[in-house]
Amino acid sequence: MYSLDVNFLKDRKLDESTKAAPIRGATPISWRKQTPLLIGLGIGAALMGLTALLGIMLNWQKAKTEANIKQLDAEISQLQAKGQSLAEMEAKVKAIDEEVTALVTVFNQIKPRSAVLQEIRRRTPPTVQVVTIEESAIAPTAEEGGTQPKVQLLLTGYARSYDDVNKFLLSLQNSEFFTASKTRIQGARQEGSPINLDTTGANLETRKIKLEIPEAVQYTITTQLSDIPASKLLPSLARNGAVGLVTRIKTLEQKGAVQP
């Protein structure tokens, strides 16, 4: 049989040699050595805080800017609306001014026919008789320009002589109511007198009375109303009885609608 001998003494040395080394205590932290790290952490935290603060300020400034932009847009819209209203008002005022100017222009071109007839009557020599006066509208020539028709007058009658017809022509040419270059003699011829005497009951043959009526000159004169504004003819208009027109023109001059 086998026997097992165990030497516990020899094994004890082995056990003693295999005992674990004692555990050292924890090394204490040195804050002095950690100062750079702490400073870095502080700077990082400060930078993060500054970044957050800048973000907040930028957002606030952005919101404020957007609010200002909205306010400016609203003010611009109001100004544009006011500008449009002002432009519309200016257009209306301009249209009214144009209408007033057109009316005043037409009004200033009026020459009352009563004043024209009185002017002809005043300028007719005693030896000239005007029988008919015809009025017609003619288109302006290229030299005259404009589109407003011109008023032409045709005068027919009798004169004692050709010289009297010429005097009548010169008298009309010197009038401000008529255009001198458009005032002409269209025709003149000598013929029997237009005077008809009723000798019934006069018994001229018994009395041996012989009446001889001299021949007369029949004439035709054309003239044209001048383009001189009525505001420049106030003395002539007043002299020929157009007092109402003179008063109205003076009123327009006082208001500035017509230049004196």
List residues bridging with 150 in a β-sheet. Answer: 138
Q: Domain map of the chain by residue range?
A: 44-108, 113-140+149-193+213-255
Over residues 66-78, the pLDDT tens digits come to: 888 888 888 888 8
Over residues 31-56, the pLDDT tens digits come to: 566 677 667 777 877 777 778 888 88
More confident residue, 78 or 188: 188
Over residues 80-120, the pLDDT tens digits come to: 888 888 888 888 888 887 777 777 777 677 888 999 999 99
Q: What is the number of alpha carbons within 13 Å of residue 29 lying toward its C-beta?
A: 3
Burial class (CB in 10 A: 0-12, 13-18, 19+), 237: buried
Query: What is 113-140+149-193+213-255's CATH number, 1.20.1560.10, 3.30.9.10, 3.30.1360.100, 3.40.50.2300?
Result: 3.30.1360.100
For 24, phi then psi, to 5°, come to -75, 155
pTM of the model: 0.59
